Chain A
């Protein structure tokens, strides 16, 4: 079991409630660079949307706006990793 990943995921779960949304997402974004295929980033974004987003009423008529943005960033981060020597050496 990848304990650092489990612990980071647990911390993010706590952060999604304890701190403003942008702090939790920023930490998740950094973790997405450290861990491989860090799906937890999208999960945290979904939790934030489900807690605070109001379906189509909030987010200017588009539901799960933060989740969609996180999914897009997830793909971008994974694609970026191929251009970073740090990851190609692993």
Chain B
């Protein structure tokens, strides 16, 4: 028996739609009934492979230096030594200022709370994720809690814990597109809301002549204030009553190997 071509092809599309709807029904049904259960299984199964990938790329990166010329390595060495000396000098000043800050706050009866953090290795960086998130190898079993702050180098906030699984967590970056956060700008103390733009950048809008300047720091206030970013560029036209401010995170997320999660 021969069938009409049109009927055969129509049923093909219907079968495809049925298959697609069935898969989506299972996924969303499981998400509704037991949120995160399927994700947790995938995270548990994939974690060893993510760790293997991270270790492999690190080895590959260090092996790549064997291909560079002696001269370029020597030049980079000298440049890094100079940068290190400058950073050490700045660090000494910052440590002195921090000690003075703690003393003054103590006098006012507002000594900073001891911070409990746990270090987690970054298993996956934003380039691999469609959502500008990172996967960290610390989870519920390590005391990680949802919505807590995540820091790089202990002093810079990069995001918050969005999902916690048994041995891994997903961190949404403040620079992720659409993510917003209330902050305070530099010496002016102006409160504003930053919006992530992706790629380590933020954007915010303030009234013209607000007094903010390029290189002003952006901080999250609290018992332990923490830096989130630095203003890179301020743009406005004569017709605008607002100025658009572009800022960036001081941390290069793509080179991060460890982060600190508050517990």
Contact = CB atoms under 8 A, between A and B. Distances in A.
| Interface size of A as a range | 35 or more
A20 interface: yes
A42 B16 CA distance: 12
Contacts of A81: 12
A47 B42 contact: yes
A87 B176 CA distance: 42
Interface in A40-85: 42-43, 46-48, 50-55, 57-60, 63-68, 71-72, 74-75, 77-79, 81-82
Interface in B39-71: 39, 42-43, 46, 49-50, 53
A19 B49 CA distance: 12
Contact of A58 (B9, B19, B53, B131): B131
Contacts of B39: 50, 53, 55
Contacts of B128: 19-21, 52
B133 interface: yes
B130 A21 contact: yes
B102 interface: no
Given A17-B49, A37-B16, A75-B20, A52 B170 contact: yes
A82 B13 contact: yes
B135 A78 contact: no
Contact of B16 (A22, A60, A67, A75): A75
A46 B36 CA distance: 13
B33 to A, nearest CB: 13
B197 to A, nearest CB: 14
Contacts of B163: 54-55, 57
A77 B15 CA distance: 12
A54 B170 contact: yes
A20 B130 CA distance: 8
A27 interface: no
B131 A42 contact: no
A78 B49 contact: no
Given A18-B53, A71-B23, A82-B9, A54 B15 contact: no
A50 to B, nearest CB: 4
B178 interface: yes
B162 interface: yes
Contact of B135 (A21, A47, A52, A55): A52
Contacts of A47: 42, 46
Interface string B1-31: 0000100011011011101110110011001
Contact of B19 (A66, A72, A74, A79): A74
Interface of B: 5, 9-10, 12-13, 15-17, 19-21, 23-24, 27-28, 31, 35-36, 38-39, 42-43, 46, 49-50, 53, 124, 127-133, 135, 162-163, 170, 172, 176-178
The 4 closest A-B pairs by CB, nearest first: A78-B16, A82-B9, A58-B131, A54-B162
Interface of A: 17-22, 37, 39, 42-43, 46-48, 50-55, 57-60, 63-68, 71-72, 74-75, 77-79, 81-82, 88
